[in-house]
Amino acid sequence: MYVIGTAGHVDHGKTTLVKAITGIDTDRLSEEKNRGLSIDLGFAWIKLPSGINVSFIDVPGHRKFIANMLAGAGAIDLALIVIAADESVMPQTLEHFQILNLLGIKKSIIVLTKCDLVDKRWLELVKLDVGKMIEESKLEKSKIVEVSATNAKGIEELIIEMETILQSTNSKIDIGKPRLWVDRSFSKSGFGTVITGTLLDGELTVGQDVQLVLSGKTSRIRGIQVHNEVVDSAKPGERVAVNLSNIDHELIQRGDVLSRLGLFKKSLVVDAKLNVLDTYPNPVKHNMSVNVHTGTNECIAKIRLIELGDLTSGNIGYVQLKFDRPMVVARGDHFVIRTNMFTLGGGIILDLDPKRHKRGDSKIIQRLELIADGSINDVIKVVLDDNGPLEFGVIENHIKTDILDLKDRLDVMIDSGELISIVSDSSIEKSIVMTVSGWQKYMNIILELIDEYHIKFPLRIGIPRAELRQALNLSPKIFNLIIGRLKRNQIVEDTNRFVLNFGHKPSLTTQQSEMIDSYLSELKQKAYAPSSDIKIDDDILVLLENRNEVVRISDSIVYSYEVYCEMVQLIRNHLKSFEEISVGEVRDMFNTSRKYALALMEYLDAQQITKRIGDKRVLF
Ligand X SMILES: Nc1nc2c(ncn2[C@@H]2O[C@H](COP(=O)(O)OP(=O)(O)OP(=O)(O)O)[C@@H](O)[C@H]2O)c(=O)[nH]1
Residues 219/247, Cβ–Cβ less than 8 Å: yes
Q: Does 12 contact ligand X by CB under 6 A?
A: yes
Q: Does 15 contact ligand X by CB under 6 A?
A: yes
Binding mask 19-58 for Mg ion (x = CB under 5 A): -------------------x--------------------
User: CB of 109: closest distance to ligand X in angstroms?
Assistant: 15
User: CB of 171: closest distance to ligand X in angstroms?
Assistant: 28
- What proportions of the chain, in percent to the nearest 5, are helix, strand and coil? 35, 30, 35
User: CB of 219: closest distance to ligand X in angstroms?
Assistant: 33
Q: Does 61 contact ligand X by CB under 6 A?
A: yes
User: CB of 104: closest distance to ligand X in angstroms?
Assistant: 23
Report DSSP letters for 162-220, one per residue.
Answer: HHHHHHTSPPPPB-S--EEEEEEEEEETTTEEEEEEEEEBS-EETT-EEEETTT--EEE
CA–CA distance, 379 with 399 (Å, rounded to integer): 7
- Of 158 and 446, CB closest to ligand X: 158
Residue 228 has a CB neighbour count (10 Å cut-off) of 7
Q: Would you tell me the crossing angle of helices 14-22 and 155-167 to the nearest 10 degrees? A: 80
Residue 290 has a CB neighbour count (10 Å cut-off) of 18
In this chain, which stretch among 147-155, 260-268, 334-342, 611-619 interacts with ligand X, using CB under 6 A? 147-155
In this chain, which stretch among 10-18, 139-147, 254-262, 354-362 interacts with Mg ion, using CB under 5 A? 10-18
Binding mask 72-111 for ligand X (x = CB under 6 A): ----------x-----------------------------
Q: Which of 2, 5, 14, 102 binds ligand X (CB under 6 A)?
A: 14
In the 8-state DSSP scheme, what is residue 473?
A: T
Q: Which of 67, 94, 106, 150 binds ligand X (CB under 6 A)?
A: 150
User: CB of 158: closest distance to ligand X in angstroms?
Assistant: 12
- Using CB under 6 A as the binding criterion, the count of chain residues that bind ligand X stands at 22
Closest CA to 196 of 156, 242, 154, 230: 242
Q: Does 38 contact ligand X by CB under 6 A?
A: yes
Residues 229/272, Cβ–Cβ less than 8 Å: no
User: CB of 412: closest distance to ligand X in angstroms?
Assistant: 50
Q: Which of 2, 15, 240, 568 binds Mg ion (CB under 5 A)?
A: 15
User: CB of 58: closest distance to Mg ion in angstroms?
Assistant: 6
In this chain, which stretch among 35-43, 156-164, 323-331, 542-550 interacts with ligand X, using CB under 6 A? 35-43
Q: Pick out residues in 106-135 that bind ligand X (CB under 6 A).
A: 113-114, 116-117
In the 8-state DSSP scheme, what is residue 486?
A: H
Chain position whose Cβ is nearest to ligand X: 61
Report DSSP letters for 107-133, one per residue.
Answer: -EEEEEE-GGGS-HHHHHHHHHHHHHH
* Close Cβ partners of 85 (under 8 Å, ≥ 6 residues apart): 112, 113, 114, 115, 117, 118, 122, 123, 126, 146
- Of 61 and 202, CB closest to ligand X: 61
Residue 615 has a CB neighbour count (10 Å cut-off) of 9
* SS3 annotation, 430-451: HCEEEEHHHHHHHHHHHHHHHH
Give the CA distances from residue 582 to residues 594, 607, 612, in Å, rounded to whole numbers and listed in that order: 11, 17, 9
User: CB of 10: closest distance to ligand X in angstroms?
Assistant: 4
Q: Pick out residues in 176-235 that bind ligand X (CB under 6 A).
A: none
* Close Cβ partners of 388 (under 8 Å, ≥ 6 residues apart): 434, 438, 442, 474, 478
- Of 150 and 169, CB closest to ligand X: 150
- Of 37 and 165, CB closest to ligand X: 37
- Of 19 and 239, CB closest to Mg ion: 19
User: CB of 113: closest distance to ligand X in angstroms?
Assistant: 5
Q: Would you tell me the crossing angle of helices 91-102 and 120-135 to the nearest 10 degrees? A: 40
- Of 43 and 498, CB closest to ligand X: 43
Q: Pick out residues in 265-324 that bind Mg ion (CB under 5 A).
A: none
Question: What's the number of CA atoms in the CB half-sphere (13 Å) around residue 339?
Answer: 19
- Of 148 and 435, CB closest to ligand X: 148
Q: What are the φ and ψ backbone dihedral angles of 224, each rounded to 5 degrees?
A: -130, 140
User: CB of 114: closest distance to ligand X in angstroms?
Assistant: 4
Strands (E), 245-388: 257-260, 267-276, 288-294, 297-305, 316-327, 334-339, 342-352
- Of 114 and 254, CB closest to ligand X: 114
- Of 30 and 362, CB closest to Mg ion: 30
Residue 180 has a CB neighbour count (10 Å cut-off) of 28
Q: Does 385 contact ligand X by CB under 6 A?
A: no
Binding mask 394-433 for Mg ion (x = CB under 5 A): ----------------------------------------
Closest CA to 254 of 216, 295, 300: 295
Q: Which of 2, 5, 11, 80 binds ligand X (CB under 6 A)?
A: 11
Decide which of Mg ion, ligand X, none touches 377; Cβ closer than 5 to 8 Å per partner kind. none
CA–CA distance, 479 with 266 (Å, rounded to integer): 29
* Close Cβ partners of 489 (under 8 Å, ≥ 6 residues apart): none
Q: Does 60 contact ligand X by CB under 6 A?
A: yes
- Of 66 and 257, CB closest to ligand X: 66
Q: Which of 12, 14, 177, 409 binds Mg ion (CB under 5 A)?
A: 14
- Of 63 and 222, CB closest to ligand X: 63
Query: Which residues bind to Mg ion, rule: CB under 5 A?
Result: 14-15, 38
Query: Which residues bind to ligand X, rule: CB under 6 A?
Result: 8, 10-16, 36-38, 60-62, 82, 113-114, 116-117, 148-150
